[in-house]
Structure 1
């Protein structure tokens, strides 16, 4: 049966009113449905906006964390200060200790440097760092392997002494009854480290036999001797496998500066006497690192190229400089409020970054670059090097 719309002329007045009422309700329902669709679309748009903002915030946080780790690897005290100021790390000693214990992206030599300082906060962090280790049911050599792998011992005897005292106290707390006192653990730990050097250092010809190792440790357990079986187990463990010295894990400066986006000499205005100074700059990971000499292993400063504001100005301090750009970074180590960069005036210039005019020019490595080549492991006798033209950097510091 075919369905068709009724002819209004054939409807009674009551039926016509009912039909109008149905049409009105239908119209209201369609409007409500459209409102719901609009509200749902608005909610999804807000969710997308929130997710985008959250992703952007997390990306910015990751960049700041990466810069904080690099700063720590160059200067541990400044690195921790940067991380706490940017709320990437609290000033609580337990939080700092856990950050060092995890060691993600951290240079283990830098960790040892920080833990070895005598500042009261550093001493508390050292204690909390050692407390992060669980030595229960480990013999002394096993515990030492774990402990000495988590950082690299500094070279100063006093620093090593403090670290080993803290280790001995923690080991005895985790293994009550193994030694009569923490002094026993402390002395035996040094004896084991010396044994490791004697057995595995190729420059030591007189290798320590087991009998001498036993003799060295007589009476150290509060006047009593340690069980010979216990000493035999420690001796055999070291003889089979030496202590592993942690190598820097790729986050050290050699790797940071190995393959930069740009490198070259720049002019920098700074210091107490406002004079233009020539500095070696490296651009990598959206950060500028500057050195006094190409042979320097650590930069004098770091300038992140994030969130820059750019303004065209005239520079009256450098005759003949012409127009320039002022780029103001939001973050930097040191006190650099702005960077003064000349605008490109040559058709050969191409910007390596949207706000950083640079150039690719042919240049043969000279004698002054020998140290840089050695430091970064690059070998070559000619060709082209990526450089930036001389730029004026208006900032403070050396």
Structure 2
């Protein structure tokens, strides 16, 4: 290799035309722009779309990714930009790796985040292996997150636009996956720039609305999906206070989440009450005042560490964490217990911390994502 060989925009020391990149295309504007941009730059682009569920089934919904209209839109972008496009049937994989666990977690009283499992177990695992089988140098996606090179290799960083940042959903990306992945949109200042690029390339999806986070949940009705997947799971029971006093009845624990206030059906009380615990075994929804939701200690397991060195070798350290995708990072102390477990102590108490949600670690001095894990019991 010549010393004056320049790196292309994807980080390879060869011309774009000699660099094959598989683009994961959901049919939305983000991944379509990534594919079109790389094709225009002269890369050897191969578009791949995963059909993750039957778009004719009751689980489908308007505006979802990876089914029906979206597959058609992805194919059309490939035709317009002149690169090959393949649709792979991953319906069984998706059900086994994502949907079944989603249902079981809800039945266990947790609040799962299936989008993280989809990235971890399907898109960045099965699809990534497919990209390698196609002899691709890398795989690119439309996620809003940044990959930067550090002293020890590729690092994961939050997106430049905090309102579109998807780092919460990508914390479980492994170092090996990160070495192979590329995120061409992470540096953009706003979604408006993405839509402007779509218009520049003449893409029909330029004004297409964003897809919802959970693609297979119609109208955000989680309970309806659970009842379809696990018939008979919505068993009625009591709504009780922290002392066990019965305040009312419920239609099934799966209809409730930690922190919920509305829809409890126990009006007429002096002070508002919130769901503070879901006791699946007793079929009870436990409610209490808002202050009962506050917690500072968060047990975390299944940790994926992207910081320097091994996780178990880390000392107690100050970090920033997000315990929900909708909340900004907050100051915390990380205390490793093993290679995959830790206790996180929040400097300021958070309300509604729920088992099944992710706890994502950030470097408080930069935009770097240090990894994260899963909140695993009532905190």
With the length of structure 1 as denominator, give the TM-score of the two structures: 0.24
With the length of structure 2 as denominator, give the TM-score of the two structures: 0.25
Structure having greater relative contact order (Cα 8 Å, sep ≥ 6): 2
Greater Cα radius of gyration, structure 1 or 2: 1
